Structures are given as C-alpha cells and as structure tokens.
C-alpha cells in the first residue's frame, strides 16, 4: 500500500503548480505554451497547450521517474491491485510489446491465441520470440473467434514445456473471456509467466459483477487501454506487473521503444482518470452496464439482429462475457456488419466502434446519453426496414486457422518478392493483411496464403472493410518469401 490517497492526482497537481509559477520557457516544445502557433492554440485551446510541456525536475521524467510520476505510478498500482504500474504514452501497442519482450528473448517460445492484436505479432518480429499458437474456439453461428480452451492450453504446455510465457486476450473485441484463473494457475504450475492483453478490460478492475481482471487472478503482467473504457486521452495506457516480474528490467524494456518525450497531456489524463475510477468506478460502470443491457434488449426486439451476451457461456472458450460490450450479429438481415457501420455513419451520423463481416460493436460508456441510445436503436430498426435482404452468399466466419510455416521475424526480414495478391496462393506471406479495426491479422508474416484467405480478403474489400498491413496501400500486391528461403 502507498502512503498516498486515491483522491490525489500528482501529475495534474504538479502541472498546475508549474503553471502558477509563470516560468519563462526557453525549452521545448517550440510553440511556447501556444504563443508561437495561433492556429494551434485556437484549435486545441490555450489551457491544453499550457500543459504541453517538457520533462524537467519539477515535473519528473517518464523514462526514470523519481517524484510526481513515480507517485502517480504507485497510486495506479494500488488502484489496479498490481505490484507496479507504468504510464504508457505509445498506446497499448507498446505495452503489449513490452510484455512480450520482458518475458521472452530471441528464440524463446511464447504460447498465445492466433486471434491476437497485431501488436503482439509485431513484438515477435522485434524480439525474435517464437509463437506457439493455440487456435481459439469458434462460434459457428456467429462466426466469431472465442477464447482459449483450457485443455488446448494444457496440451500446448505439454508439447512445449520450454515456453517462457502464455499470452491471453481478455476480453476479446467481442467481449468473450477465457477461463483466466484456470489458465493462470496452469501456467504457473509449469513456471511460465502469464501476460494478459486487457486492452478492452479496464473496467474489470473497478466495476462490480464483471469478469475477473488479470491482477485479481495472479497474472504476471497486463496491458490496459485506459483510453478505451477508462476515460483517458487516446494513446494513453497502463502496463501492470505483478509477482516476481522485475520493475527495473521492465522499465528498461519499455524504454527501448517508448518515446523520451512523454506527453504531459497523456500522462495527466491517465492520472486524472485513475483518480476518477478509483473514487467513482463502481457507480460509473454500473450505469454503463445498465445502458448496455437496455440497448441490447431493445435491439433484440428488432427481428434479424442478435445482440449477444451471457447466454453464450459454455464454461470454457466462453467462460465469461463482458456485458458492457454491445456486440451485434447482423447477417440474418442480409447485411455485413461493416455495411451497417457505413450506413450508420454516412446516413445517420452515428459512429460506432467497428463493423466486420458478420457483426458490429457499439462502445457504450458513461459519456453516452439515453437520447443517443434511442437514436442508435431507431437507426438500426430503420436500416433493417430499408436495406434488409436475403442472406444467401454472405461470408459467415471471422477466423481462419492459419498454416504457420516460418516465425514472424524470419518471414518479415527474409528476402522477398512482390506478387499480385490474386496470384499468391500457396506462397508464404512476408507481411500482414488485416481489417482495422480491430487489427487482428487475417494473414501474418510466416503464414501460408490459401484460397480461403484470398476469398476472405476479396470479400472484405467488396464489403468496404478498411484493409491494412501491406506495403501496397491498395492491397493489390503482397510481399511473399522467396522460395529459396
């Protein structure tokens, strides 16, 4: 326990003290509290720019914190039930990469589900760690990947007893949770670290009657997207460590890739949002849960949509469900989720989180209003009335089991050649192809390109998914590993 109270916000308080001193700045940033860029000041506001300052003794240093940032870290650790918390300003991407690189050196194995975010596979490219993929369960009716089966994790451990760690997505983008406690206990019995990508699980630490959080089950590391459900500014996150994970070594790993010019706007937003959740989180997420359930019930009254929830629980690959997630299956009205996503934005001025081949996700938070909820429900009903059609011919699944031939690092750095993507079947990909969001690869470096994958990519293009990952911005060509490699 720290000697500090959760109603404190040390970074914000230090910034306010610094501002009151009326210091004349002969340091960076060059806009000099906004005075050097009138257009920027008008757009973002003088208050924001006055807090966009450089690291200095009164404000501490993110790379080696000893005062106010250190105090804020200790408060965050206490709030999340962790041994230590690191402030991350390169997004949860950098937190996931730091977890993997802290746990594994080049050539060491890590067990993970294949439906990880691209940041985890990027970490394998950077570090040279070797993935042991566990294919997630799949719900064939919804076409979505689920969590990891405990038995399949156990088998992966028996097959690869030299693995150093296990990475778990909890929850998935759709709200699906694995049996976090059982997998953590199993990994620890075999002396493996447990890393949890909790990009969508900040609220698990502060709400009631929500799925278990990583720290609560004794996991060793967790990356937490505070900017998603926690209310901080975009790109700000926490990396939590527990048990015997070294604080000093983890910080060294973080400092390999994280900026030396940490934004105090991001840092203070983490500090303020942590305070808010520590003091008010139960009430905040009770309201979010109620709003999400109300919306789910209303959508399920519209024939053809299916807003799914805890009825999916099966004790294993769907061990729990995040009821704050409003995930909706759309194929029964003859429209892909991405098509409804586009219609909502273009014709109804409603921006949801994402749409994919068969589902959409609307992110519900404490900032939503009842009027907004009703508007979304009404729009979905009208879209069904105006656009519903026969569902014959719709692609019905989101996950294709990969054929892994080479490690991601080997394939990414190997000699390569560029081919028209339509002519690449049978080759080994040297790059990613993915829809963003959510950023889970359809194809990753080192995987065999198949006709099924090409059909999925082609279909995603036709439906309007935003495809990324290849050097070719139009996804018309793809880099493949040269045969001699």
Across 131-144, average pLDDT: 91
The half-sphere exposure of 134 on its side-chain side, counting CA atoms within 13 A, is: 29
Which tokens is 68 given? 């106010």
Find the DSSP H helices in 190-263. Answer: 226-229, 247-257
Q: Is the pLDDT of residue 473 over 60?
A: yes
Identify the pLDDT of residue 290. Answer: 96
What is the Cα Rg of the chain in Å? Answer: 23
The number of beta carbons lying within 10 Å of the beta carbon of residue 105 is 11
Phi-psi region of 209 (alpha: psi -120 to 50; beta: other; left: phi over 0): left
pLDDT tens digit sequence for 65-115 = 999 999 999 999 999 999 999 999 999 999 999 999 999 999 999 999 998
Instruction: Round to whole Å and give the CA distance between 45 and 43.
Output: 6
Q: Is the pLDDT of residue 485 over 50?
A: no
For residue 178, give the H/E element and its range. Answer: none
pLDDT tens digit sequence for 384-439 = 999 999 988 888 777 888 999 999 999 999 999 999 999 999 999 999 999 887 88
The rounded mean pLDDT for the chain is: 94
Across 209-216, average pLDDT: 98
Name every residue whose Cβ is closer than 8 Å to that of residue 51 and which is 6 or more positions away in sequence. 15, 19, 264, 265, 268
CATH class for the domain made up of 281-387: alpha beta
What percent of the chain is predicted at pLDDT more than 70? 99
pLDDT tens digit sequence for 292-339 = 999 999 999 999 999 999 999 999 999 999 999 999 999 999 999 999
Identify the pLDDT of residue 121. Answer: 95
- 């294709």: which residue's tokens? 400
Identify the pLDDT of residue 439. Answer: 83
Instruction: Round to whole Å and give the CA distance between 5 and 3.
Output: 7
Across 35-59, average pLDDT: 92
- Tell which residue, 124, 210, 128, has the closest CA to residue 170: 210
- Domain 59-274 sits in CATH at 3.40.640.10
Query: What sign results for the dihedral spanned by CA atoms 17, 20, 26, 31?
Result: positive
59-274 and 281-387 in the same fold: no
Q: Is the pLDDT of residue 2 over 80?
A: no
pLDDT tens digit sequence for 213-223 = 999 999 999 99
Which tokens is 387 given? 């656009």
Residues in the chain: 485
- 């983890």: which residue's tokens? 250
For the chain, the domains span 7-58, 59-274, 281-387, 408-481
Fold (CATH) for 408-481: Molybdopterin biosynthesis moea protein, domain 2 (3.90.105)
Identify the pLDDT of residue 33. Answer: 86
Output the CA torsion 8→14→20→23 (10° steps): 180
Q: How many Å from the N-terminal Cα to the C-terminal Cα in the chain?
A: 54
DSSP type of residue 428: B
Which tokens is 243 given? 């048990």
pLDDT tens digit sequence for 430-464 = 999 998 878 889 999 999 999 999 999 999 999 88
Identify the pLDDT of residue 1. Answer: 46
Distances in Å between the Cα of 58 and the Cα atoms of 33, 45, 273 are 17, 24, 22
Across 133-158, average pLDDT: 93
Indicate the range of 26-40, 255-269, 341-355, 466-480 predicted with least confidence.
26-40
pLDDT band at 159 (very low <50, low <70, confident <90, very high): very high
- Parallel, antiparallel, or unpaired: how do β-strands 84-88 and 237-241 relate? antiparallel
């Amino acid at each position: 326990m720290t000697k500090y109270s959760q109603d404190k916000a040390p970074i914000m308080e230090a910034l306010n003290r610094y501002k009151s001193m009326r210091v004349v700045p002969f340091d960076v940033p060059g806009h000099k509290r906004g005075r050097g860029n009138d257009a920027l000041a008008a757009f973002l506001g003088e208050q924001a720019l006055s807090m966009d300052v450089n690291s200095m003794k009164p404000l501490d240093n993110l790379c080696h914190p000893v005062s106010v940032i250190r105090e804020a870290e200790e408060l965050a650790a206490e709030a999340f039930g962790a041994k230590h918390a690191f402030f991350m300003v390169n997004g949860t991407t950098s937190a996931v990469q730091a977890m993997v690189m802290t746990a594994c050196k080049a050539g060491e194995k890590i067990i993970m589900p294949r439906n990880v975010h691209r940041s985890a596979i990027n970490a394998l490219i950077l570090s040279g760690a070797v993935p042991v993929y566990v294919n997630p369960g799949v719900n064939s009716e919804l076409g979505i990947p689920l969590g990891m089966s405990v038995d399949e994790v156990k088998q992966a451990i028996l097959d690869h007893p030299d693995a150093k760690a296990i990475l778990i997505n909890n929850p998935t983008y759709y709200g699906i949770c694995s049996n976090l406690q059982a997998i953590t206990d199993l990994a620890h019995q075999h002396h493996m670290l447990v890393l949890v990508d909790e990009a969508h699980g900040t609220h698990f630490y502060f709400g009631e009657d929500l799925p278990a959080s990583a720290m609560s089950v004794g996991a060793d590391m967790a990356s937490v997207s505070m900017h998603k459900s926690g209310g901080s500014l975009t790109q700000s996150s926490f990396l939590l460590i527990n048990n015997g994970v070294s604080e000093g070594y983890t910080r060294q790993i973080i400092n390999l890739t994280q900026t030396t010019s940490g934004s105090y706007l991001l840092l203070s937003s983490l500090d303020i949002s942590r305070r808010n959740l520590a003091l008010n989180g139960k009430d905040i997420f009770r309201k979010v849960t109620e709003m999400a359930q109300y919306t789910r019930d209303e959508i399920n009254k519209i024939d053809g949509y299916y807003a799914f929830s805890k009825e999916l629980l099966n004790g294993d690959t769907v061990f729990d469900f995040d009821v704050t997630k409003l995930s909706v299956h759309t194929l029964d009205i003859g429209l892909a989720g991405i098509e409804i996503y586009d219609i909502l934005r273009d014709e109804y001025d409603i921006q949801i989180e994402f749409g994919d081949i068969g589902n959409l996700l609307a992110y519900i938070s404490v900032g939503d209003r009842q009027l907004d909820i009703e508007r979304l429900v009404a729009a979905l009903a009208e879209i069904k009335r105006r656009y519903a059609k026969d569902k014959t011919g719709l692609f019905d699944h989101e996950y294709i089991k990969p054929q892994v031939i080479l490690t991601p690092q080997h394939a990414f750095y190997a000699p390569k050649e560029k081919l028209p993507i339509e002519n690449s079947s049978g080759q080994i990909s040297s790059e990613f192809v993915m829809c963003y969001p959510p950023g889970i690869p359809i194809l990753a470096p080192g995987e065999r390109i198949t006709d099924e994958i090409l059909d999925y990519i082609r279909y995603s293009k036709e439906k309007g998914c935003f495809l990324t990952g290849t050097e070719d911005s139009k996804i018309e060509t793809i880099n493949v590993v040269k045969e001699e490699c």
